[in-house]
Chains A and B, each alone.
Chain A
Amino acid sequence: MKRNTIVLSITLLLLAVLAWAGWANWEYRKQAAEKRAAMAAKAELIRSSSSDSPDAMLTSSPLIGKHAPNFTLEDLTGKKFSLASYKGKALMINFWATWCGPCKIETPWLVELRNQYASQGFEILGISAEDDDLAPGDKAGWARDKAAIAAFVRQEHMPYPVLINGDSISDTYGGLEAMPTSFFVDRSGKVVAVQLGITSKDDMAAKIKKALAE
């Protein structure tokens, strides 16, 4: 009887230790998994965040060194614009969205830079890519989008072509996972730089100069 009690006590003690160890292990793994999850999200969020330079936000794109994929898109009035018709000009293809705060911040810089470098053969193509999963038949949704884009263009006094339905060419430009995303194209049509997110006016000017260089 006494021996049974001792065996039972030891078994219960062992069970308690194991339960505690299991719980502690579970907690540890849970916390580790959460840390990894947070790190993974952050890694995807801020690219090249280990660098403090303005180029930290520059993404390495498979398009760099290649010809910018051609497209034909309409502006708000229905006028068609083709990338091919800008051959010989240095371009900044700036994808933006009405819901994008940083796009609003950088637009006045774009206007100034466009006016500063236009005489050297530089142009900007602003392309709205709302990516709001509108169905093709959702007339009210498209009308709402167009009205928001028109209001943005009026408010920001954008003097360069602003094209719509950029989502239709998103895949050819790498998926456009964040806004703003800009591609700097030289006079031969090759992409010389890509910028994801906002950096600074000076950084943009440097990329424009790179696009203008022969």
Chain B
Amino acid sequence: MRIGKQMSGFALLGVILIVLTATAQSPLADSSKRSVLRGAPVEYLFPEQVTLPVGKPSPVTLHFRVAPGYHINSHRPKEESLIPTVFSVPGNAGVRLESAAYPDGTDFVLPLDPGTTLSVYTGEFKIQTRLIAPRGNQLVQASLRYQACDKSACYPPRTITVPIDVIGN
């Protein structure tokens, strides 16, 4: 009986070990699917899931990261020809975007053009949104449109998907 109990304890230990091993490898597997590995300069970080009161505008802070060596135009670039960073939620998403507050851009000067100051985001930045959720679970495929550059070249405007699991209750 005692031996049986000890055996079941070891079996439990084995199961936990397997789970821990699998968990330990998951970040690598996940990151290989991330857009940054494919060269996309902007990555959505989190939250993946939010729980909001139904029908009430609620704050949700979205976190993004610009890859090292890149910068993207802020929401209010200093020149009209530059493409601003804009977050949007599709009209048919169920969840509505009441407002989005963007951070101020950081001043950035290209070495080859010291007379021009750009307003950009680098590293991690946050967009403060207010979302209105219906009852139930909605997987919202929101979007972030941006245009990235480095010190010598610019990359075409791109839109990344911002997936958020919104639970309204």
Query: A residues engaging B (CB < 8 A)?
Result: 4, 7, 11, 14-15, 18-19, 21-22, 25-26, 29-30, 32-34, 36-38, 40-42, 44-46, 57, 97-105, 130-133, 148, 151-152, 177-181, 196-199
Give which listed residue, B81, B113, B155, contacts A177 with CB less than 8 A: B155
B109 to chain A, nearest CB (A): 11
CB distance from B102 to the nearest CB of A (A): 18
* Other-chain residue from B17, B28, B67, B149 in contact with A102 (beta carbon distance below 8 A): B149
Inside 8 A of A15's CB, which chain B residues have their CB? 13, 16
Which residues from chain A contact B154 at a C-beta distance below 8 Å? 97, 99-103, 178-179
Which residue of chain A has its CB nearest to the CB of B9?
A11
* Residue numbers in A under 8 Å from B118 (CB-CB): 101
Contact, CB under 8 Å: A198 / B152? yes
Between A and B, 13 residue pairs with Cβ closer than 8 Å are A4-B2, A18-B17, A21-B20, A30-B31, A33-B32, A37-B34, A41-B40, A44-B39, A99-B82, A101-B154, A133-B157, A179-B156, A198-B112
Minimum Cβ distance to chain A for residue B131 (Å): 26
Cα of A40 to Cα of B31 in the assembled complex, Å = 12
Q: Which residue of chain A has the shortest Cβ distance to B156 in the bound complex? A: A131
**7 A-B pairs with least C-beta separation:** A197-B153, A22-B20, A197-B152, A131-B156, A41-B67, A33-B31, A44-B39
A7: B residues at CB distance < 8 A: 6, 9
Q: Give 7 A-B pairs besides A18-B20, A30-B27, A178-B154 with Cβ atoms closer than 8 angstroms.
A: A26-B26, A40-B36, A41-B41, A45-B67, A45-B150, A105-B110, A178-B155
Contacts of A105 in B (CB 8 A): 110, 112-113
> Nearest-CB distance from A165 to chain B (Å)?
14
**Chain B residues whose CB sits within 8 angstroms of the CB of A32 once the complex forms:** 28
Please give, as numbers and ranges, the residues of chain A lying within 8 Å of B68 by CB-CB distance: 38, 41-42
| Residues in chain B within 8 A of chain A (CB atoms) | 2, 6, 9, 13, 16-17, 20-21, 23-28, 30-32, 34, 36-37, 39-41, 43, 67-70, 81-83, 110, 112-113, 116, 118, 147, 149-150, 152-157
- CA–CA, A131 and B156, complex, Å: 6
Residues of A within 8 A of B27 (CB): 26, 29-30, 33
The reply to whether B157 and A179 contact each other, CB–CB distance below 8 Å, is: no
How far apart are the CA atoms of A171 and B26 in the complex, in Å?
Answer: 37
Nearest CB to that of A149 among chain B residues? Answer: B81
Residues of A within 8 A of B83 (CB): 99
Give the docked Cα–Cα distance between A41 and B66 (Å).
10
Min distance, Cβ A119 to any Cβ of chain B, angstroms? 28
Select one of B17, B32, B43, B113 contacting A101, CB under 8 A: B113
The answer to whether A101 and B110 touch across the interface, beta carbons within 8 angstroms, is yes
Report how far A132 CA is from B82 CA in the complex, Å. Answer: 12
Q: A11 contacts which of B13, B30, B32 (Cβ < 8 Å)?
A: B13
CB pair B20 A152 closer than 8 Å: no
- On whether the beta carbons of B69 and A41 are closer than 8 Å, the reply is yes
A29 to B25, CA, bound (A): 7
